[in-house]
Amino acid sequence: MQIGFIGLGHMGGPMAANLLKAGHALTVFDLSPAALEDAQKAGAKVAASPRAAAEASETVITMLPAAAHVKAVYLNEDDGVLAGARAGVPLIDSSTIDPATARLVADAARAHGNSFADAPVSGGVVGAQAGTLTFMVGADEALFETLKPVLAGMGKNMVRCGETGTGQIAKICNNLLLAISMIGVAEAMKLGEVLGIDPTKLASIINTSTGRCWSSDTCNPYPNILPNAPASRGYSGGFGADLMLKDLGLAVDAARQAKQPVFLGALAQQLYQSMSQQGLGDLDFSGIIKLYGKE
């Protein structure tokens, strides 16, 4: 299939490379010349604008930093995706953004004769490289079935969450919970250490007890409990605290608009903000344990 791909960063770069490997023809656009050069070397054609990438394509995928970029790339009257996409061409946005913007872009796409799916991902850069991402898709059933073969070139699991916007809702609710559970595990591990139990013993008890969760048994924030966790390599790699802070911002904003309290989410946002202020925003988010005192 002829695919337009816009946004070739940490995630989009390897996702585009996997689509090429799966046999699709890609026309790409990014603001970064280096990202374009890499994609060209891998076999993609380079377009001069989102509009030109869309004009050449039967499906368009975007993987951009935040809502402002998504709005600009789709809606710009002169050189946006909608200015170039032929009627009937489906559009997929895999960026993590707020559900309201996803719906706004979907409405504009519909008015232009295009279907639009929000399809944010989990699995991180490692999953993007390995082609094992999970896609949380907001789309009607017919569109979801149409998009599945394309998404299969980049991921292993595709879940239809409901209508437009629900992919983003699933993504921000999951990350809200993850942010909070990581803080809970960090707090418990640090308290245990200070009160005098061996941290490895404490972790093994938690992991066979009711406190067990992904943050305790797969990404424990206490160093050297799990050899492959970011905590055991100075919190490098993994999911950056600044990205978690961005996702918490989306969740807290969406909650404010819905007048729905998120007591712990708001507190978690402040804790990751404090981590970021201390210059630790590039560390894996499990580095939040550093707020509890020295290792």
Catalytic residue ranges: 171
Residue 180 contacts ligand NAD per CB under 6 A: no
Q: Which of 19, 47, 61, 64 binds ligand NAD (CB under 6 A)?
A: 64
For ligand NAD, the closer of residues 9 and 162 by Cβ is 9
Residues in the chain: 295
Which range in 9-17, 135-143, 152-160, 220-228 contacts ligand NAD by CB under 6 A? 9-17
Least separation, in Å, of the C-beta of 159 and ligand NAD?
15
Q: Which of 96, 168, 269, 286 binds ligand NAD (CB under 6 A)?
A: 96
Residue 69 contacts ligand NAD per CB under 6 A: yes
For ligand NAD, the closer of residues 12 and 90 by Cβ is 12
Size of the residue set binding ligand NAD (CB under 6 A): 26
Comparing every residue's Cβ against ligand NAD, the nearest one is 9
Residues 238 to 267 in contact with ligand NAD, rule: CB under 6 A: 239, 243, 246
Per-residue H/E/C for the chain: CEEEEECCCCCHHHHHHHHHHCCCEEEEECCCHHHHHHHHHCCCEECCCHHHHHHCCCEEEECCCCHHHHHHHHHCCCCCHHHHCCCCCCEEECCCCCHHHHHHHHHHHHHCCCCEEECCEECHHHHHHHCCEEEEEECCHHHHHHHHHHHCCCEEEEEEEECCCHHHHHHHHHHHHHHHHHHHHHHHHHHHHHHCCCHHHHHHHHCCCCCCCHHHHCCCCCCCCCCCCHHHHCCCCCCEHHHHHHHHHHHHHHHHHCCCCCHHHHHHHHHHHHHHHHHHCCCEHHHHHHHHCCC
Q: Do 235 and 286 form a contact (C-beta atoms < 8 A)?
A: yes
Q: How many CB atoms lie within 10 A of CB 111?
A: 9
Per-residue binding string, ligand NAD, 203-242, x by CB under 6 A, is: ------------------------------------x---
Q: Which of 27, 95, 164, 216 binds ligand NAD (CB under 6 A)?
A: 95
Least separation, in Å, of the C-beta of 22 and ligand NAD?
19
For ligand NAD, the closer of residues 155 and 192 by Cβ is 155
The one-letter amino acid at 215 = S
Which range in 7-15, 105-113, 209-217, 255-263 contacts ligand NAD by CB under 6 A? 7-15
Residue 32 contacts ligand NAD per CB under 6 A: yes
Residue 82 contacts ligand NAD per CB under 6 A: no
> Where on the chain is the footprint of ligand NAD (CB under 6 A)?
6-12, 29-32, 35, 63-65, 69, 72-73, 95-96, 121, 124-125, 239, 243, 246
